[in-house]
């Protein structure tokens, strides 16, 4: 694939996501949904479209299988920082707050099966897969940058500049971690579940975002350290592979 064709495909994926989130924003502005899960109804057609494409092309196993052999115990240890991260959020946000069990389930399903599924498939699925044909470093960095840029759309909903800048930085580091998990042989199913649970805990937090800044900065530092470890691990494996091939 030529560089120009690859670039246009990546740009096309970015525009696709931005378009549908703008459509969803317009839907929210016109309907003013009172429940959280209805606020993302405009993304449902895109989620269905992606699921249909994966089914038609029979690519579910390609994206959702583990590419690196690990024992169950080793995989848990390898992914344990993600579990610790979610636990820190849960404790830092002082638990979760919802009006009913039904709301709890619907929010979790919305954030996992719609938002996380769409964003992970576009950025850590299609986009990362395209860019890996050039370089895993380019793939990780560019997909993470575009993932972070997409979060700048939150300014359209009235979010302050300071909060938006921090969210963009946070999204970039999160994108690095999730992309590096994929290039280290993990299934995109792992990143979808983590992404969905992270969003779920943020949306059901009884604590205002401005009241948990210390926790957020600690989480950013924590994720940065995990990204550094995953980057070095992939680099070491790549060097070892090249030496064996040579």
pLDDT, tens only, 16-61: 999 999 999 888 889 999 888 889 999 999 999 999 999 999 999 9
pLDDT at 246: 44
Yes or no: say if 103 and 200 are a contact pair by the CB < 8 Å rule.
no
What sign for the dihedral angle of Cα 30, 14, 115, 156?
Answer: negative
Q: What is the pLDDT of residues 76-106, one digit of tens each?
A: 999 999 999 999 999 988 889 877 899 999 9
**Size of the chain, expressed as the number of residues it contains:** 246
pTM, 2 dp: 0.94
Rg (CA), the chain: 18
Percent of the chain with pLDDT over 70: 94
Report the C-alpha gap between 220 and 14 in whole angstroms: 24
Please name the residues in contact with 141: beta carbons below 8 A apart, sequence gap of 6 or more. Answer: 176
Percent of the chain with pLDDT over 90: 69
């Amino acid at each position: 694939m030529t560089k120009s064709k690859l670039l246009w495909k990546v740009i096309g994926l970015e525009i696709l996501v931005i378009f549908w989130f703008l459509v969803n924003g317009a839907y929210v502005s016109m309907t003013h949904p009172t429940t959280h899960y209805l606020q993302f109804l405009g993304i449902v057609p895109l989620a269905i479209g992606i699921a249909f494409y994966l089914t038609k092309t029979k690519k579910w196993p390609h994206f959702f299988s583990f590419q690196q052999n690990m024992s169950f115990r080793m995989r848990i240890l390898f992914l344990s920082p993600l579990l610790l991260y979610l636990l820190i959020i849960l404790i830092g946000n002082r638990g979760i707050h919802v009006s009913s069990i039904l709301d709890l389930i619907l929010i979790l399903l919305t954030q996992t099966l719609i938002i996380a599924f769409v964003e992970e498939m576009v950025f850590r699925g299609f986009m990362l897969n395209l860019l890996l044909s050039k370089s895993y470093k380019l793939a990780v960095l560019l997909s993470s940058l575009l993932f972070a840029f997409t979060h700048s759309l939150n300014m359209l909903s009235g979010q302050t500049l300071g909060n938006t800048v921090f969210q963009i930085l946070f999204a970039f580091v999160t994108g690095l971690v999730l992309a590096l998990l994929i290039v280290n042989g993990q299934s995109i199913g792992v990143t979808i579940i983590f992404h969905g649970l992270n969003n779920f805990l943020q949306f059901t937090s009884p604590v205002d975002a401005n009241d948990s800044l210390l926790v957020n900065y600690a989480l950013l530092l924590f994720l940065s350290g995990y990204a550094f470890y995953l980057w070095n691990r992939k680099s070491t494996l790549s060097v070892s592979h090249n030496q064996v091939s040579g």
